[in-house]
Amino acid sequence: MLLRPRYARQTSYVKTKKNIHFEFSQDLVREPLLYQINRSFDVVVNIRGASVTDDGGFIALELEGTAEELQRVLDYLVGQGVKLGEGLGDDEGSQER
């Protein structure tokens, strides 16, 4: 008889993918935002596109993780002062937050 761990029933481990893009100002160019996401959250980060200059930047990401963890990443980014949008930054299906 195969028993499931008790914690498996209490927490959702279903992973989903979410495409986001964000813009950031000159103040955040030297901040290690992606490093912090990788170290602080249980998500897989796939960089789909980026453009960074001394004046600011734009990054398009595909994130994979639980819905709760993805929301934590979005909350972190907004808290850092980035301009966040859903989608990869193309004109179709892109929403800003």
Q: How far apart are CA 35 and CA 40, in angstroms?
A: 8
**Selected residue with higher pLDDT from 91 and 68:** 68
Q: Which are the contacts of 89, defined by CB distance < 8 A and separation ≥ 6?
A: 21, 49, 58, 60
Domains plus CATH for the chain? 14-89 (3.30.70.260)
Query: Is residue 3 predicted with pLDDT exceeding 80?
Result: no
Q: Running DSSP on this structure, what letter comes out for residue 80?
A: T
Cα-Cα-Cα-Cα torsion 77, 50, 91, 81, nearest 10 degrees, comes to: 20
Mean pLDDT for the stretch of residues 55-63: 93
Q: How far apart are CA 90 and CA 16, in angstroms?
A: 21
Mean pLDDT of the chain: 83
For residue 62, what pLDDT band results from cuts at 50, 70 and 90?
very high
The reported pLDDT for the residue numbered 96 is: 46
Q: In this structure, are strands 95-96 and 56-66 parallel, antiparallel, or unpaired?
A: unpaired
Q: How far apart are CA 67 and CA 51, in angstroms?
A: 27
For residue 48, what pLDDT band results from cuts at 50, 70 and 90?
very high
The reported pLDDT for the residue numbered 9 is: 47
Of how many residues is the chain composed?
Answer: 97
For residue 85, what pLDDT band results from cuts at 50, 70 and 90?
confident
Nearest Cα neighbor of 67 from 33, 17, 21 is 17
